[in-house]
Amino acid sequence: MEVFADFLEYLFRCAADYIKETHASGPTFWESVKNDIDFVLSHPNGWEGTQQQEMRKAAVIARLIPDTTSGHARLSFVTEGEASLHFSIQNGLPPGAMKVN
């Protein structure tokens, strides 16, 4: 869990740095949104409550969210299958993926 938390913290720091360095008024913008970010983490199909609880703990350790009810509400989970479906809906299915009838 600590390795996953370190990875989440690293990704968050990289995203923050990118926004601060590339967005107009980056540091000011970041300060205005950094405590109101909602996170969506994907996980393998079949993972449920136990694995999601561990991922939530890692997000708290990484300081993505506070360990409060409102902090936990800012974290959602999606299975890889659901994420793939949403991607396909947004970007269209490849030719030949569906057949008539």
Q: 48-87: per-residue pLDDT in tens?
A: 889 999 999 999 999 999 999 999 999 999 999 999 888 8
Instruction: Summarize the confidence of residues 3-9 as an average pLDDT.
Output: 96
Residue 32 forms part of a structural domain: no
Give the CA angle between residues 90, 14, 56 to the nearest 5°.
Answer: 70
Residue 96 forms part of a structural domain: no
pTM: 0.79
Number of independent structural domains in the chain: 1
Residue 67 forms part of a structural domain: yes
Residue 63 forms part of a structural domain: yes
The single residue listed with the structure tokens 């967005």 is 23
The DSSP output letter for 93 is P
Distances (CA, A) of 26 to 42, 43, 58: 27, 31, 27
What element of type H or E holds 6? helix 2-22
Give every CB contact of residue 54 below 8 A, 6+ residues apart in sequence. 1
Residue 20 forms part of a structural domain: no
